[in-house]
Structure 1
Amino acid sequence: MNPSLSPLDWLVIGAYLVFLVLFALWLARQQRDRNDYYVGGRALGAWPVAISVMATQCSTNSILGAPAFVAFAAGGGLVWLQYELALPLAMVLLILLVMPLFRQLQLVSVYAYLEQRFDLRTRLLLSALFQFVRAFATAVTVFSIAIVIDLILGIGFFWSVVILGVFTVVYDVLGGIRGVIYSDVLQMAILVVVLALLLVLLAADHGGIGGLLERIEPARRQALDFSRHGLGDGETFAFWPMLIGGLFLYLAYYGCDQSQVQRLLSTRDIDTTNRALMINGLLRFPLVALYCLVGVGIAAYASENSGFIPSLPLHDGAPQYNLAVPRYMIDSLPPGLVGLGLVALFAAAMSSLDSVLNSLSATTMEDFVLRFSRRPPGPTRELWLSRGITVAWGVVTLTLSFYVGDIAPTVLEAINKIGSLANGPILAVFALGLLTRRADGRGACVGLLLGIAGNALMWRYAPGVSWLWWNVIGFVVTFGGGWLLSASSHRFDREALPHPLALLRRESRLHWPRRCILLLCWFAALLALLANIG
Structure 2
Amino acid sequence: MSPIDWFVLIFTIGFITAYGIWKTRGSKNTKEYLLSKKMSWGTIGLSIMATQASAITFLSTPGQAFSDGMRFVQFYFGLPLAMVVLCMTAVPLYQRLHVYTAYEFLEKRFDVKTRSLGAFLFLIQRGLAAGLTIYAPALVLSTILGWEIFYVNLILGGIVVLYTVVGGTEAVSITQKQQMFVIFVGLMVALYMVFALMPQEVGVWEAVQVAGKAGKLESIDFSFDWNNRYNIWSGIIGGFFLQLSYFGTDQSQVQRYLGGKSTTESRLGLIFNGFIKIPMQFLILFIGAMVFVFYQFHEPPLYFNQVEAAKVRRSDNGSEFISLEQKYHQVFTQKREQAIALVEALKQGEPQQIDHAKALLDAQNSAARDIRNEALAIIHRQNEAEGKGKSSDTNYVFLTFVINYLPKGLIGLLIALVICASMSSTSSELNALASTTVIDVYKRSVRPNESESHYLKASQWMTIGWGAYAILFAEFASTLSNNLIEAVNILGSLFYGTILGIFLVAFYVKSVKAKAIFQAAILAEMVVLFCWKFTNISYLWFNLIGCAAVILLGLLLQLFHKQHTDGTSFA
For normalisation by structure 1, the TM-score amounts to 0.86
Q: What is the SS of the residue equivalent to 2:12?
A: helix
Partner of 1:12: 8
SS of corresponding position for 1:432: helix
In structure 2, the partner of 1:43 is 38
1:311–1:481 distance in 2 versus 1, CA, 3 Å: closer
Counterpart position of 2:523: 450
Q: Which residue, out of 140, 143, 154, partners 2:135?
A: 143
**Does the CA-based 8 Å contact 2:392-2:480 persist in structure 1?**
no
- Structure 1 stretches of at least 4 aligned residues deviating more than 6 Å after TM superposition: 491-494
TM-aligned CA deviation for residue 485 of structure 1: 0.8
Residue 153 of structure 2 aligns with which residue?
A: 161
- Among candidates 23, 27, 30, match of residue 31 of structure 1: 27
Which stretches in structure 2 are left out of the alignment for 5+ residues? 310-378, 381-390, 567-571
Residue of structure 1 aligned with 2:243, choices 226, 241, 250: 250
Of 215, 218, 222, 1:219 maps to 215
For residues 203 and 456 of structure 2, the distance between their equivalents in structure 1, rounded to whole angstroms, comes to 52
1:17–1:167 contact (8 Å) kept in structure 2: no
C-alpha distance in 1 between matches for 2:563 and 2:31:
37
Q: Distance in 1 between matches of 2:17 and 2:417?
A: 17
CA distance in structure 2 between the partners assigned to 1:297 and 1:447 by the alignment: 47
Residue number in structure 1 paired with 2:426: 353
Shift, 1:271, TM fit: 0.9
User: Greater shift after overlay, 162-171 or 27-36?
Assistant: 27-36
Q: Decide whether the 8 Å contact of 2:74 with 2:235 is kept in 1.
A: yes
Q: Is the 8 A contact 2:498 2:550 kept in 1?
A: yes
Instruction: Give the CA RMSD over aligned residues.
Output: 2.0
1:483 aligns with 2:476: no
Distance in 2, Cα, partners of 1:411 & 1:115: 35
Q: Does the Cα contact within 8 Å between 1:224 and 1:239 map onto a contact in 2?
A: yes
Taking a change above 3 Å as real, the CA distance of residues 214 and 455 of structure 1, as seen in their structure-2 partners, is same
The equivalent of 1:409 in structure 2 is 482
- Give the structure-2-normalised TM-score: 0.81
Corresponding position of 1:127: 119
Does the CA-based 8 Å contact 1:68-1:295 persist in structure 2? Answer: yes
1:58 corresponds to 2:53: yes
**2:107 matched to 1:102?**
no
- Per-residue displacement from partner, 1:273-306 (whole Å, max 9, x unpaired)? 1111111111112211211111011111122222
Alpha-carbon separation, structure 2, partners of 1:135 and 1:83:
23
84-93 or 22-31, which deviates more: 22-31
2:441 is aligned with 1:368? yes
Query: Aligned partner of 1:111: which letter?
Result: Y
CA separation of 1:491/1:170 partners in 2, compared to 1, >3 Å: closer, same or farther? farther
Q: Distance in 2 between matches of 1:210 and 1:312?
A: 30
Distance 1:92 1:28, change over 3 A: closer
The residue type paired with residue 478 of structure 2 is G
Larger Rg: 2
Instruction: Give the drift of 1:64.
Output: 1.3
Structure 1 residue 23: Cα displacement:
2.1
SS at 1:226 equivalent: coil
Shift of 1:99: 1.2
**2:75 maps to which of 66, 70, 83:** 83
What is the CA-CA distance between 1:203 and the residue it aligns to?
2.3
Equivalences, count: 482
Which residue identity does 2:135 align to in structure 1? F
Alpha-carbon shift at residue 154 of structure 1 (Å)? 0.7
CA spacing shift, 1:489–1:223, aligned 2, 3 Å: same
- In structure 2, what is the equivalent of residue 238 of structure 1? 231
CA distance in 2: counterparts of 1:390 and 1:446, whole angstroms: 31
Residues 140, 405 of structure 1: 8 Å contact kept? no
In the alignment, structure 1 segments of 5+ residues that lack a partner are: 495-534
The question of whether the paired residues in 2 share the 8 Å contact of 1:309 and 1:319 is answered with no
Q: Aligned partners of 1:486, 1:94: CA distance in 2, in Å?
A: 27
Structure 1 residue 437: deviation in Å? 1.2
**Alignment pair present for 1:435 and 2:427:** no
The answer to whether the Cα contact below 8 Å between 2:107 and 2:115 also exists between their aligned partners in 1 is yes
Q: How does 1:211-360 map to 2 (within 5 A)?
A: 211-216=206-211, 217-227=213-223, 229-231=224-226, 234-313=227-306, 314=308, 316-317=379-380, 320-360=393-433
